[in-house]
Amino acid sequence: MPLPSEKEEVWRYTPIDALDLDAYAPAVLGPAAPAAGPLAEAFVAGLASDLPVRAAMVTTLDGAVRSVDRGRLDDRVVVGAVSAASEGALGQVLTGGDALVRLNDAFHPDAVVVDVPAGVVVEDPIVVVHWCGAAPETGAVAPASFPRTVVRLGRGASAGVVEVVAGMPEGRGLVVPVVELRAGEGARLSYVGLQVLGPSAWHIARMAAASDRDATLRTFTVGLGGAYDRSRTDAVAAGPGATTELRSAYLGTGEQVHDVRTLQDHAAPHTTSDLLCKGAVAGSSRSVYSGLIRVRRGAVRTEAFQTNNNLVLDPNAHADSVPNLDIEENDVRCSHASTVGPVDEDQRYYLESRGVPPERAEQLIVLGFFDDIVQRSPVPASVGRLQREVGIRLTEALHVGDGSHG
Amino acid sequence: MTDGHLLEVENLHATAGGGEVVRGVDLTVRSGEVHVIMGPNGSGKSTLAHALMGRPGTTVTEGSVRLDGVELVGLPAWRRARAGLFLALQQPIEVPGVLLDATMAEALAPLGAGPPDRGALSDRLRQEAAAIGFDERFLSRALNVDLSGGERKRNEVLQLGVLRPPFCVLDEIDSGLDVDAVRAVARRIESATGEWGLGVVAVTHFHRLLRELRADHVHVLVAGKVVASGGPELAEELEHTGYAAYASPT
């Protein structure tokens, strides 16, 4: 199977042609595997203290499960590594997939599985942390990681998962995560994905989500790190009455490329999906948002909404926004909207008319732009950490801290 | 109470969107005074308000605006605000994710200093909300997001009460408000004229504001010029005759 190419529509505007797999080697596993370094340990400890109330925490090193802390998790819930023998859990939601998914199939060391049986309600979030690049770049060879995660909720179950991809603080690296989410009948599944890799890493993530009859599936993916950060989310409303809420946020600094692709796939009647994707690009960074609402024949009374808002903070930054509709049914309500532009002049004037200096006004508006989406995270416990991660990078993006006011 | 501030507008000409819409306005406002500027739609009222505050896109082509002797023309809006001028917008702007209380903390923080005491600010916000019937639940929400038109207007007056500037310009503060709300807002503004000597320039094309707000001076603005000035009786007269009598023959 060939590697993806920029000639394909789903890879347009990306630097994927520059991907040279020979420059990467999958992480070493088994007894020779490197230990988690102090950076990884400090990161995990920090995350643990930011999410003090949690049901369970799983850590992996390059996708290999290193620890499973079940905390006060209900005994009936399965959390942890699934061995190759029982990998029937995989590929249930994500079918097909390109060459990068095949690479993950071949090289993921473990699959982290969260299996919540019918009727079980997990109140507190389950945290999954992947630290990538345990063996850093040596010579011409950079590390490649293939984390794999499956979350399944049975009928009427409820749970929230916070998954964090971090590591590769220096040097190049490639991280190709694959995540599958399934919300069974009437289940409520909330998922937050946070990517905070180092500035030279490539992150090419694929997520597939399915919601059955009357299920509610809410996802929020936040892309902050990496040189190239791609997240593709395909969410299918598979059963009647299913509700999907997709949220994404990205912030580009330096020369980053953020690339968000979404599919709201309506395969059943009376289904609802609502997508909101907000991003800002500063410096020479750029972003691509491309989203498709597909309403299949028979999916009557579909309601699907798609909104992409982009702030372009510097003259050399650039954002592309490509919304699409593919509707095969008549009795539906669908809409899409996108904006690309600098900080709103009226908003700035409004704050200035209260005496707020322009640099500070811009900072408040951009912080607010993100806060607006972060505050509504489907896993409320994640809000504090997300705000801090965004805040740190915004400080850099807006060149604040030099104390000068007009 | 701080007395003795002076706002002097002299021969002000301003353009917005290419055409000249303020064509030579003179106005002197002292602490505690209420000036109401009335005029039909398109007479230049809003342009005047924004020219005073310094909205980008509104250009002063001639004339001067001095606050206690400090020339405001040429200063950015935030400097004018810090000099002591406040504008209540006709259509207050939504700013998602930027909270009202946090904005007030920023606005009150002198340059280089930290924000004011949270407890004191929060008390003041609650007092001002109570004074004008603004729902306290809105105090820690994003600016104007999910607020009705009337609530947004109350929000402007609330901020005025929190910031306590020497002068304010009210751009159609009465539009979109019901009778009770106009009364509540007008009472708050009027009491501010005594409390800290607020000087008011209220721009409106409704007479009903004048039933609630005691005006010291009424000015009629037609085609960008003040064509008549007088006391409250001028508004009464306008109510009967309309603006037609003042229509300029240009």
pLDDT tens, residue by residue, A166-177: 999 999 999 999
**A3, pLDDT greater than 70:** yes
**A85, pLDDT greater than 70:** no
Nearest CA in chain B to A352: B78
Range of the domain at B24: 6-246
pLDDT at A87: 60
Instruction: State the average pLDDT over residues A8-33.
Output: 87
pLDDT band (50, 70, 90) for residue A370 = very high
Residue identified by tokens 């490329």 is: A257
pLDDT at B3: 63
**Cβ A110 vs Cβ A33: under 8 Å:** no
Instruction: State the average pLDDT over residues A333-353.
Output: 96
DSSP B35: E
pLDDT at A328: 93
Higher pLDDT, A88 or B96: B96
Q: Kindly list the residues of chain B whose beta carbon comes within 8 Å of any beta carbon in chain A.
A: 53, 55-57, 76-79, 81-82, 86-87, 89, 92-99, 102-104, 106-107, 111-112, 142-143, 159, 163
pLDDT tens, residue by residue, A104-141: 999 999 999 999 999 999 999 999 999 999 888 888 89
pLDDT at B90: 93
pLDDT at B168: 98
**Cβ A123 vs Cβ A71: under 8 Å:** no
Q: How many CB atoms lie within 10 A of CB A318?
A: 18
Q: Which amino acid appears at position A165 of this protein?
A: V
How far does Cα A382 stand from its chain's mean position? Answer: 13
Tally the domains of chain B: 1
- The beta strands (E) that lie in A346-406 are given as none
Q: Interior CA angle at A207 toward A219 and A13, to 5°? A: 105
| Residue B121 covered by a domain | yes
| Neighbouring residues of B53: CB distance < 8 A, sequence distance ≥ 6 | A353, B77, B80, B81, B85, B87, B169
Interface pTM, i.e. ipTM: 0.94
| Residue B238 covered by a domain | yes
What is the DSSP track for A80-110?
EEE-GGGGGGTTSS--S--HHHHHHHHH-S-
| Residue B22 covered by a domain | yes
| Residue B88 covered by a domain | yes
- Backbone angles phi and psi of A104, in degrees to 5: -65, -45
pLDDT at B75: 97
% of chain A residues with pLDDT over 90: 86
pLDDT at A396: 85
Instruction: State the average pLDDT over residues A264-293.
Output: 97
Instruction: State the average pLDDT over residues B67-85.
Output: 97
| CATH classification at residue B105 | 3.40.50.300
- Compute the distance between CA of residue B157 and CA of residue B153 in angstroms, rounded to an integer: 7
Q: Which of A351, A360, A372 sits opposite B96 (nearest CB)?
A: A372
pLDDT at A186: 98
Structure tokens at B75: 């200063």
Helical packing angle, B100-108 and B149-163, nearest 10°: 30
Instruction: State the average pLDDT over residues B186-208.
Output: 92
- Compute the distance between CA of residue A51 and CA of residue A53 in angstroms, rounded to an integer: 6
**A184, pLDDT greater than 50:** yes
pLDDT tens, residue by residue, A261-273: 999 999 999 999 9
Instruction: State the average pLDDT over residues A180-200.
Output: 98
- Compute the distance between CA of residue A233 and CA of residue A384 in angstroms, rounded to an integer: 24
| Residue B1 covered by a domain | no
Higher pLDDT, B105 or A84: B105
Residues of chain A contacting residue B67, judged by C-beta atoms under 8 Å apart? none
**A84, pLDDT greater than 90:** no
- Compute the distance between CA of residue B84 and CA of residue B196 in angstroms, rounded to an integer: 12
Q: Which residues of B39-69 are buried (b: 16+ CB within 10 A; e: fewer)?
A: bbeebbbbbbbbbbbbbeebebeebebbbee
Show which of residues 333-372 on chain A sit within 8 Å of chain B, judged by CB atoms. 344-347, 349-358, 360-361, 364-365, 367-372
**A312, pLDDT greater than 60:** yes
Three-state DSSP state, B239: helix
- Compute the distance between CA of residue B227 and CA of residue A159 in angstroms, rounded to an integer: 69
What is the DSSP track for B162-185?
HH--SEEEEESTTTT--HHHHHHH
Residues of chain A contacting residue B86, judged by C-beta atoms under 8 Å apart? 353-354
Nearest by Cα to A225 from A132, A341, A101, A112: A132
**Cβ A198 vs Cβ A387: under 8 Å:** no
Q: Taking CB atoms and an 8 Å limit, are B106 and A370 in contact across chains?
A: no
Q: Taking CB atoms and an 8 Å limit, are B81 and A353 in contact across chains?
A: yes
pLDDT at A96: 80
Q: Which range among A78-87, A236-245, B165-174 shows the weakest confidence by mean pLDDT?
A: A78-87
Q: Which range among A334-343, A369-378, B27-36, B210-219 shows the weakest confidence by mean pLDDT?
A: B210-219
Q: Interior CA angle at A345 toward A344 and A350, to 5°? A: 105
Nearest by Cα to A259 from A9, A21, A3: A9
pLDDT at A297: 96
Structure tokens at A283: 């410096």
Residues of chain A contacting residue B98, judged by C-beta atoms under 8 Å apart? 347, 351, 364-365, 367-368, 371
Average pLDDT, chain A: 93
Q: Which of A357, A369, A403 sits opposite B78 (nearest CB)?
A: A357
| Residue B159 covered by a domain | yes
- Compute the distance between CA of residue A347 and CA of residue A357 in angstroms, rounded to an integer: 13
Structure tokens at A243: 């509700």
**Cβ B171 vs Cβ B90: under 8 Å:** yes
Q: Taking CB atoms and an 8 Å limit, are B97 and A371 in contact across chains?
A: yes
